[in-house]
Structure formats: C-alpha cells, structure tokens
C-alpha cells in the first residue's frame, strides 16, 4: 500500500493527502516532521536527503517534492481527471503548479511563517507587509484568470488546483488586509465543498 510520511498541518503534505482523497487512494501515513521528528533519522534521510516532508513509498519507489508526488499520483491514477488527457489542458494545469513554486509561495511563505509560526516579538513585519502586497498582486492574476471558469484549467478540478487550493485557504485565513476578489472567493467556496479538501486542507493554520 502507498505510504506517506508527513505531519498533517504541513502545506506540502496536505497537497498529497488531498490528491489521494480525490483519487480514492488508500494509504498508510506516518507522522513526521517538526514535533514528531522521524525526518532526521538515518532511515528517513536515506529516502529523502533533504529531511523534509512529504515523502512517499509506492511499490518500493520513493519520491519526495510535493508537486512531483501530486503529478506522479495524478498521472498513475487520475488520467482524464486530475491528469487531463488533452496535452494543452494538462500543460495549463501544470503551469499553475510551476507558478505556485516560482512566484506565489515565495510571497506567501513569509506572511504565513511570521504570522503563524513566529512569536509576535520576533516577527519581521516589514517583510510581512512587502510580501502581503506582492501576494495581493499574485492573487489578482488568479482572480482574473478564474473569470468564467470554475477551476484553473477549465470546467473540472485538475492537479493544478491542488497547490493553489492550499495556498488560497491560507490567504483567506491569515489575519491580513486583502483586496476583494470575487472569483477567488467563489473558487475557495467550491473547493471547501470537496470532501478531500474539507478533510485535509481546510483546518485552522498551525
């Protein structure tokens, strides 16, 4: 059976758990990372030399990097759904995963990290404000893109929505000033109605 290492409040683990839920995949999950440790053991580092979560094992095959894992599971089990059959739609979905990594996460991480994980007296609020403004610009792009389409790559959920969904949840929960983005709000409401997202990704930030 598919095995997943990673704590459930990790954004990157949540991407994998939600993907499994969308694909109806059964798995064993091992708590790892932060207070659980495990990710610094020699056994774990042999699977994932970064010592980060998530890592998966599938039929003797180890894989790390959350987006690589989402793509692998989508390609293997979600042809025509999470992994669109049309190469253009598939590339469209993939593009948003790349954009999350190259553009969005770099602005979301400092806001999330400082406001959720760092003690108030140690927060870098200048960085939070700078990143918050950039983030508003990033989500303006997504909001405009979502005009007239329920999901990023068109009419149904694809792998492209997985990273975006977990990021959007954080954006709406963080205690920050946000411009009004109606299409993004509608998108977030649609995602929250999906059982896999509701179960794995829509909880409080920690």
Ligand X SMILES: N[C@@H](CCC(=O)N[C@@H](CS)C(=O)NCC(=O)O)C(=O)O
53/174 with CB nearer ligand X:
53
At residue 205, φ and ψ (nearest 5 deg) are -80, 135
Query: Which letter does DSSP use for residue 101 in this model?
Result: I
Cβ atoms of residues 63 and 55 within 8 Å: yes
Contact status, residue 170 vs residue 184, Cβ threshold 8 Å:
no
Binding mask 58-97 for ligand X (x = CB under 6 A): -------xx-------------------------------
CA distance 70 to 67: 5
Residue whose CB is less far from ligand X, 82 or 146: 82
User: Smallest gap, in angstroms, from Cβ of residue 131 to ligand X?
Assistant: 17
Instruction: Choose, by CB under 6 A, the member of 4, 11, 90, 135 that binds ligand X.
Output: 11
Residue corresponding to tokens 């659980």: 36
Rule CB under 6 A: say whether 108 interacts with ligand X: no
Q: Please, which residue, 179 or 203, has the CB nearer to ligand X?
A: 203
Write out the binding residues for ligand X, residues 15-34 only, by CB under 6 A.
33-34
- With H, G, I as helix, E, B as strand and everything else as coil, classify residue 27: strand
């Amino acid at each position: 059976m598919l095995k997943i290492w990673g704590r459930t409040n990790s954004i990157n683990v949540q991407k994998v758990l939600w993907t499994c839920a969308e694909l109806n995949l059964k798995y064993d999950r091992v708590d790892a990372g932060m207070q659980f440790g495990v990710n610094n053991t020699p056994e774990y580092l042999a699977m994932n030399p970064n010592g980060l979560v998530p890592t998966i094992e599938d039929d003797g095959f180890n894989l790390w990097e959350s987006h690589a894992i989402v793509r692998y599971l989508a390609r293997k089990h979600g042809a025509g759904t999470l992994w669109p059959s049309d190469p253009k739609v598939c590339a469209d979905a993939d593009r948003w995963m790349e954009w999350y990594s190259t553009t969005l996460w770099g602005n979301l991480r400092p806001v999330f990290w400082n406001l959720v994980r760092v003690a108030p007296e140690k927060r870098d609020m200048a960085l939070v404000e700078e990143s918050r403004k950039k983030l508003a610009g990033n989500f303006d792009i997504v909001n405009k893109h979502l005009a007239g389409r329920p999901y990023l790559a068109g009419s149904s959920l694809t792998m492209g929505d997985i990273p975006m969904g977990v990021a959007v949840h954080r954006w709406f929960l963080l205690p920050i000033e946000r411009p009004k983005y109606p299409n993004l709000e509608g998108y977030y409401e649609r995602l929250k109605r999906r059982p896999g997202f509701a179960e794995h990704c829509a909880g409080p930030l920690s």
